[in-house]
Chain A
Amino acid sequence: MLGRKLVLGFLLATVAFSGCAPQKEAGNKANVITVWHWMTDRQPAFRELAKRYAAKTGIQVNFELYAPSEEYSQKVRAAAQGVNLPDIFGILGEKKVFASFIKAGHVLNLNSYMTADNSKWLNRFFTKALAVNEFGPGNIYGVPQGYYGVPIDVMTIQMLYNKKLLKDLGAQPPETFQELLDIGKKIKAAKMQGLVSGWGEISFIDCFASNYAFNIMGKDKVLATIEGKVPYTDPDWIRVLSLFKEMQENGVLANGLVTMINKNAEQLFANGRAVFAFNGSWCVNVYKGMNPDLSYGAMLPPKASDKHPMVIWGGAGSSFMVNPRSGNKEIAVKFLEWLTDKEQQAYLSEATNNLPANKESVRSLSGVMEQFAAGIDDSTHPNVWGVSEFTPVIEALDKGIQSIIIGEKTPEQVATDVQKIKERELAKKR
């Protein structure tokens, strides 16, 4: 009796724990490539391209969608720890995270592929699309020089305005910050909603503040702040923080903006309930799905200073990386080369209303898309600055801006708080 129980127990344990065994390494199936991504809106287009590729080469490409992006990021990290990454995947987040993946041996250096045949592959792309995937010589992350990702599209984050609502207010798209404040007063008087955006999420508020920091103090001073050479209590930073207070006081910002997620902001703007939005170029597809009749335009955030140009965030929107441990890494690279070819890029751009990474695929873009594309020239991205701010400092700055908007703290108080955290982080690093 006892023996039977033991055997039964052993069998049950074997069955139960067999699920805990590590998965097989990626790329064990010949002629089958697995791609992990988070882009819900692009899945149908990816599937169509996979069909075309299978018809052309006989190689099957499985696009596996894991959304939302936060969950996707977690999945990729867990897979990296378990050495279970697929043949192709994307990495979301700051450049230091990307660097860690590379240093842990999870990302293939594509330098030799990109530069082969007189850099034929490399030359297809917009320079800014490549920049976020490039690690230059002597970079601060200690990553060997090279290109580690393949951009599949480019994006810019800009301000959008509802043409009808702006006309109803008797206003034109603002060119200066003062004009924006004046429109804000009209918005307030008309009891309308002003600017909507995902300011409940860190990245959008950070992006907006960074745009004005570049405009007010210029790139060098922004980077010097990140390096710890200029304090956040500098008058220029206080001026940047004061802009949020002025926007709030003058009715530019929509109610509830501090806890708004971008999906809600997109709904409000698409339904014609907000005059302005602050969003990325991917929104064209989103708005089209929500309200195809929406009439809107894109513009750079209005300048608060003439000292320096307004610089927005832009560059590679999404990139794919190849797993060097994959048995299919060579065919994975070939697939990405095909995916970023002129024809496929044009299809992706048309099907998903995104800006292509391949500059030869930019043919006739619609009005708003053209405005977003034009913004590429004025764009930058934290991932190409060569220095990176401590995450607790970014969080303190963004949460501090929320405090300014809700009238809880003054710009000076927030600047002092952020500087304290900056000094704490610098001390830890030393």
Chain B
Amino acid sequence: MRIKETLENYLFVLPAVTIFVIFYVIPFIWVFQLGMFDWDGILPTKIFVGLSNFKEILFDKVWWQSMGNAGYITLIALTFQNILAFLLAWACDREIRAKNFYRLIFFIPPVLSEVVVGLVWQWILDGNYGLLNYWLNGLGLHSLARNWLSDPQTALTAVAIVHSWKGFGWGFLIFLAGLQTIPRELYEAARVDGANAWQTFKNVTAPLMIPVAVIVAILTIIGTMQAFVLIIAMTRGGPAYHTEVPVLRILASMRGSSRFGYACAQGISFGVILMAVSFMQYKFSKKAKA
């Protein structure tokens, strides 16, 4: 009877495990295996090169520049995007008028197509006929008008801000859900104890929101480091390598250079880095919570 029950329990998790193994574990192993070959993606023959593709990544300057760019975009997302998301969620959690309307509005950017968002913002930021320069010139701020996406000084930041605008709605939604789980009695108790708004936030809201903030941060890191559609639509990685990101480099290796093996090695290395960063963040947050 007990064996039957155990088998039945295993049967329940079997579909999920099967799907996970077929769509995640096996492809991961295959991609790792392909990373050890020199292969153009078309020829039936592959040349075994061992770990040389992985070794090459270590000395690939453009790859590391793209990692740095993605890191910068992630930093902007972790700070500007998530602080904005939290503040808006906090505002909507209070008894304000038309809060449901705001909730809807704030969630519009994430559901829009990345290509559409990229093209619209490309038009807004266009150096010749862009809306932003039009407004700046209209306000007499001629010195601020520039080619936002072609100027190496501003291109990456412009892309990062658009990415944050596009993504803050997810954080907003999760933060809002988190805020709504905090028992109202705790706020009541804090008020009775004479705590002011800052003390309530510091001693009630903030500690209880740490697990939520960790989830948002991990999702932000994973999502932002992998961003590329928006960047293709806005700059295609240019000017020069100023807005290149790892996924664009993987695509360039695969499509442009026909180096599938190297692209696979880049993909695996990138995945490992992301996993390591997420793990570190998880550990750090556990420590902070303790």
Contacts and interface: CB of A to CB of B under 8 A. Distances in A.
B211 interface: no
B42 A77 contact: yes
Given A80-B42, A97-B40, A259 B155 contact: yes
B252 A395 contact: yes
Contacts of B7: 2
A77 B43 CA distance: 10
A96 B151 contact: no
Contacts of A104: 42-44
Contacts of B256: 202, 391, 395
B149 A256 contact: yes
B151 A406 contact: yes
A402 B41 contact: no
Given A255-B127, A406-B151, A74 B255 contact: yes
A73 B42 CA distance: 12
B157 interface: no
B147 to A, nearest CB: 5
A100 B257 CA distance: 13
B223 interface: no
B11 to A, nearest CB: 7
A416 interface: no
A178 to B, nearest CB: 26
Contact of A200 (B11, B152, B235, B257): B235
A73 B127 CA distance: 32
Interface string B225-238: 00000000011101
Residue picked from B238, B252, B255, most chain A C-beta under 10 Å: B238
B11 A96 contact: no
Say whether chain A's binding surface is mostly helix, strand, loop, or mixed.
helix
B255 to A, nearest CB: 7
Contacts of B129: 273
Q: How large is the interface on A (under 10, 10 to 19, 20 to 34, 35 or more residues)?
A: 35 or more
B149 A97 contact: no
A399 B256 CA distance: 14
Residue picked from A193, A255, A257, most chain B C-beta under 10 Å: A255
A277 B111 CA distance: 36
A71 B240 CA distance: 23
Interface in B48-88: none
A12 B11 CA distance: 14
Contact of A259 (B40, B43, B239, B257): B239
Nearest to A261: B236
Contacts of B8: 2
A103 B150 CA distance: 41
A202 B252 CA distance: 11
B4 interface: yes
Interface string A192-212: 010000001110000000000
Given A256-B149, A256-B150, A406-B150, A200 B238 contact: yes
A304 B128 CA distance: 29
Nearest to B149: A259
Given A255-B127, A391-B257, A402 B239 contact: yes
A280 to B, nearest CB: 19
Interface in B33-51: 40-44
A242 interface: no
Interface of A: 2, 5-6, 9, 12-13, 70, 73-74, 77, 80-81, 93, 96-97, 100-101, 103-104, 106, 193, 200-202, 254-259, 261, 268, 273, 391-392, 395, 399-400, 402-403, 405-406, 408
11 contacts: A2-B4, A6-B11, A9-B14, A77-B42, A200-B235, A254-B128, A256-B149, A258-B238, A259-B149, A259-B234, A391-B256
Given A97-B258, A259-B149, A259-B155, 15 more contacts: A2-B11, A6-B11, A9-B11, A80-B42, A100-B42, A104-B43, A104-B44, A106-B42, A255-B128, A256-B150, A259-B235, A259-B239, A391-B258, A399-B240, A406-B239
